[in-house]
Amino acid sequence: MKSLYLVRHGQSRNQIGQAGWLDPDLSEEGVRQAERIRCYFSDRNYDLIISSPLTRARRTFNLSGARADRCEFDSRLVECAMHDTEEYDYRRLLPYETPDFARPDPFNMWKVPSGQRIESLLADIRNRPEQQILLFGHCAIFYVLLQHVEGNFIQGEPEFSDEGRKLLMDNTALSELAIGDSPEDDRVVQWNLNIQDVLV
């Protein structure tokens, strides 16, 4: 079994009404949240870190101090486009430049529906040699990942019931999934753990 760890980005400027939805930076509190989890990652090393290339996720990754033998940006982790309007159209961001602390995104799946992106990501993870993999991303795309691990395959974009919204990860929360050789072997180890609680 492979261990797949998920960290949602810190609070974004969009969450407090200071920026639009598409690609906001972290808020001042989001920067503090990302820096606070540095203690958690200081004595850990992963085989692979994969980050959404969007600003709020990659800044959280960079500020967290998380380390791995290999680091990559991956557009399959870009947040779900919840509405089919210009405000949510990632084509407005392309071509997208990423800093050089991780390898550039080779997939160019910015506009592929989130369910298909997660299917592709999970198939790739099953075939990779790395065993300890850390993802930095967003609450809705991680919800889609959770649904796939639990056998609820989403083909397009998720629709959230009140119960579904309760499963969205908090800012800088940690979740862990066990990924097997086939989807039937996948399971949730822990979900939406406050890293600050672990550090106490």
- pLDDT, tens digit, 9 for 90 and up, residues 37-48: 999 998 899 999
> Do the domain assignments include residue 78?
yes
Please give the pLDDT value at position 31. Answer: 97
Q: Answer yes or no: are the C-beta atoms of 134 and 104 closer than 8 Å.
A: no
> Do the domain assignments include residue 20?
yes
CA separation for the pair 196, 108 (Å, rounded):
34
Question: Which CATH number characterizes residue 78's domain?
Answer: 3.40.50.1240
- For the chain, the domain total comes to 1
Calculate mean pLDDT across residues 152-159: 83
5 has pLDDT over 60? yes
Q: Answer yes or no: are the C-beta atoms of 53 and 62 closer than 8 Å.
A: no
> Do the domain assignments include residue 198?
no
> Do the domain assignments include residue 148?
yes
CA separation for the pair 152, 170 (Å, rounded):
22
Residue-wise pLDDT for 108-140, tens only, equals 999 899 999 999 999 999 999 999 999 999 999
> Do the domain assignments include residue 196?
no
> Do the domain assignments include residue 200?
no
User: pTM for this structure?
Assistant: 0.94
> Do the domain assignments include residue 43?
yes
Structural domain that includes position 150: 2-189
Calculate mean pLDDT across residues 21-32: 95
Split at pLDDT 50, 70, 90, the class of 199 is: low
> Do the domain assignments include residue 7?
yes
